[in-house]
Structure 1
Amino acid sequence: MNITIRQIQSFLNVAALGSFTRAAEKMHTMQPALSQQVRDLEAELGIRLFDRTTRRVELTEGGAEFRNIAAKIIEDLESAARNAHELAERKRGRVIIAAPPLLAAAIVPRAIADFRSRYPGIEVRLIDARTDQIIENVRSGQVDCGLGTFHAGEEGISATLLARDSLMVFCTSNHPLAQRQAVNWRELDGLPLITLTRDSGIRLLVEVGFETAQIRLVPAYEVGQITTALAMVEAGLGIAVLPTYAWAGAKAMKISATALTPGIARDIAMITRTGRSIAPAVSAFARFLAKYTNVSVPGGATTAGRLPSARKPARVSTRGEMNARK
C-alpha cells in the first residue's frame, strides 16, 4: 500500500468542505491535481470515497468510515510533529540524572532550579546513588545522564568534562592549619586523620598523596560518607582530606578548607550512554550542570576560612603533579 499524507489531506478537505474547488483553494493547489490525489487514494483503498453530482460531493459509506480513521491519523501525526518540534526547541521533555549524595545536594538542585526557570516545560528527576550504581543506570538507559567522578574508559560510557576538582584539607576554624593559603602534604604527618573507607575513590587519592609525601597514613577514623567526615572534623576529632565540592556540606560548620600542595586534581564529568544520541533536553541541562559545578566552591575568604576557586586547582611541576580520576 502506497498512501501519502497529501492524499489523505486532500480527501479530508474535500469531505469537510463538500467541494473539490474549495478544497483546492484551501490547499493552494489546482483542482485537477487535487482530484487526482483523491482518485489515487481511492485506487489504493479499492473503494469509492465520494459520490459526485453536478451540485454536491458526498461521502460514501466507506468514505465516511475512512474519514474517522484518517482524521485520527492526521491528528496523531500533527501531534507527533509538534512534540518533536517542541523537543528540538527545548520546550518540553524529561531529564533523569543520577549523582552521588553530596553532589546531588550541592550542585544538582541549584542547576535544576535555574534550568526550570529557563525551560519550564522540561521535567528533571534526580536520583542519588553510589558511583557504581550511576554507571550501571546510565549504561542500561534507566537514567539519561550521571554526574560525578569516574574511571577513564568505562565501557559503554561517554564522559563530558564539567570542571576540575582538587583535594583540600578540612579542619576546625581554630586549627593551626586553618586560614593558610596552602598546606603541604608533609604537614599532615602525625595528625589524627578522618578518612573515607577503602572502597572510596577519594580514599585512594588520599593514599597517593601520603605515599608521594613519604608519610604514613594511619586513619584515626574511617567513615563511609563525606558528610559524616565533616561532622567529625567539626567535633574536633581530626582533619580530613576531601574534594573541594565537600565545602558545600560544610558551609554552616565551623570548618576551614585549605588547598594541598602538590595538588591532586580529578575530573567532575557528566556521563551518557555511548551510541545513544543525546536528547536536546539533556544537552541543554548539561550547560547548567557545568555552570553550578564550577561555582560549587566560592573563591576568596569565607566565614570558616579561605578557599581557592574550584576552577583553579593547585598545580605543581610535572615531577610533583598528581592528577587522578576516581
Structure 2
Amino acid sequence: MNITIRQIQAFLQVATLGSFTRAAEKLHTMQPALSQQVRDLEAELGIRLFDRTTRRVELTEGGAEFRNIAAKIIEELEAAARNAHDLAERKRGRVVVAAPPLLAAAVVPRAIVAFGEEYPGLNVRLIDARSDQIVELVRTGQVDCGIGTFHAGEEAIASTLLARDNLMVFCASAHPFAKRTAVGWQDLESLPLVTLTRDSSIRILVEVGYEAARIKLVPAYEVSWITTALAMVEAGLGIGVFPTYAWAGAQALNISAAPLVPAITRDITLITRAGRTIAPATSAFARFLRQATDVSTPWRNHVKRADSRTRASSNGSKRLP
C-alpha cells in the first residue's frame, strides 16, 4: 500500500468543505491535481470515498469511516511534528542523567536549577549509581547521559570532558594541615588515612600518589562512600585524600582541605551512547553540567599555583616523577 500524506490531506479537505474546488483553493493547489490525489487514494484503498453530484460532494459510508481514522492519523502526525520542533528548540522534553552519589549531590542539583530557569519545559531525572552501573545504564539506553570518572575506551560509549579536578587532603579543623595552603605527598607518610575501598577509581589514584612519593599506604579505615569517609575525617580518625569536588560535600562539616602537590588530576566526563545523535535537550543540559562542575571545583587554579610554588622551592622534598 502506497498512501501519501498529501492524499490524506486532500481527502480530508474535500470531506470538510464538500467541494473539490474549495479544497484545492484551501490547499493552494490545482483542482485536477487534487482530484487525481483523491482518485489515487481510492484506488489504493479499493473503495469509493465520495459520491459526486453536480451540486455537492458527499462521503460514502466507507469514506465516512475512513475520515475518522485519517483525521486521527493527521492529528497525531501534527502533534509529533510539534513535539519534534519543540524538542529541537529545547522547549520541552526530558533528560535522564546518572551520576555517582557525590557528584549527584555536589554538581547535578546546581545544573538542574540553572537548566530549569532557562528551559522550563524540560525536565531532568537524576539517578545516583556507581560508576560501573552508570556505564551500563548509558550503554543500554536507560539514561541519556552519565557523568563521573570512567575508564578510557569503554565499549559503545562516547565521552566528553567536563572538567579536571585534583586530589586534595582533607583533615579535621584542628589538624596541623588545616593551616597549610598546600601539602606535599611526602607529608602524608605514617599519618592515619581514611580511604575508599580498592574498587574505587579514587583509591587507585591515591595509591599512585603514595607510590610515586615512595611512601607506604596503610589505611586506618576503608569505606565505600566519600560521605562516610568525610564524617570519619571530621571525627579526627585520620586524614583523607579525595577529589576537589568532595569539598562541596564537606563544607557543612568541621573540615579543612588543602591541595596536594605535585597535583594529580582526574577527568570528570560526560558519557553518552556511542553512535547515537545526542538529543537537543541532553546537549543543552551538558552545558549546564559543565558550568556546575566548574563552580564545584573552585580550588583547581589554587592547586596549580601551589604546585608551581612547591616545584620552585629548594627544601629538598622529593617530587613526583
Same fold (TM over 0.5): yes
Please state if 1:54 is matched with 2:54.
yes
Q: What does the per-residue CA deviation read over 1:127-152, in whole Å, with 9 as the maximum and x for residues that have no partner?
A: 11111111111112111111100111
In structure 1, the residue matched to 2:291 is 291
C-alpha distance in 2, partners of 1:184/1:312? 13
Asked if structure 1 preserves the Cα contact closer than 8 Å seen for 2:99 and 2:127, the reply is: yes
**What is the TM-score of this pair, normalised by structure 1?**
0.90
Q: How does 1:1-326 map to 2 (within 5 A)?
A: 1-298=1-298, 307-309=299-301
Provide the rounded CA distance (Å) in 1 between the counterparts of 2:305 and 2:197: 24
For residues 148-192 of structure 1, the C-alpha deviation after alignment (integer angstroms, 9 at most, x for no partner) is: 001111112111100001100111223221232211111111222
User: d(CA) in 1 for partners of 2:82 and 2:206?
Assistant: 52
Distance change >3 Å, CA 167–CA 314, structure 1 → 2: farther
SS of aligned partner of 1:246: helix
- How far apart are residue 315 of structure 1 and its match? 5.6
> How many angstroms apart in 2 are the aligned matches of 1:168 and 1:313?
14
Change (3 A) 1:35 1:196: same
Q: CA deviation at 1:314?
A: 6.5
Change (3 A) 1:265 1:126: same
What's the RMSD between the two structures over aligned residues?
2.0
For each residue in 1:237-275, what CA deviation from the matched residue of structure 2 results, as whole angstroms up to 9, or x when unmatched?
221111001001111122111111111001000111112
Deviation of 1:309 (Å)? 4.4
Q: Secondary structure at the match of 1:214?
A: coil
Please give the secondary structure, in 2, of the residue aligned with 1:126.
strand
Quickly say closer, same or farther: Cα 1:292–1:313, change in 2 above 3 A: farther
The residue type equivalent to 2:143 in the other structure is V
Cα drift, residue 313 of structure 1:
8.6
Unaligned runs of 5+ in 2: 312-317
**Aligned equivalents of 2:54 and 2:210: distance in 1?**
97
CA contact (8 A) 1:111 1:288 kept: yes
The structure-2 alpha-carbon separation of the partners of 1:313 and 1:81, relative to structure 1 and needing over 3 Å to count, comes to: farther
Partners in 2 of 1:46 and 1:130 — Cα distance?
59
Per the alignment, residue 304 of structure 1 pairs with: none
Q: Which amino acid aligns with 1:67?
A: R
Distance 2:247 2:123 in 1: 28
Following TM superposition, by how much is the alpha carbon of 1:321 offset from its aligned partner in structure 2, in angstroms? 6.2
TM-superposed deviation, 1:123 = 2.0
Any gaps of 5 or more consecutive residues in structure 1? 299-306
The residue identity in structure 2 corresponding to 1:64 is A
What amino acid sits opposite 2:183 in the alignment? Answer: V
Instruction: Find the residue that maps to 2:260 and give its secondary structure.
Output: strand
1:19-38 deviation line (CA, Å, top 9, x unaligned)? 11211111112222222221
After TM superposition, the runs of 4+ consecutive aligned structure 1 residues lying more than 6 A away are none
TM-score (norm 2): 0.92
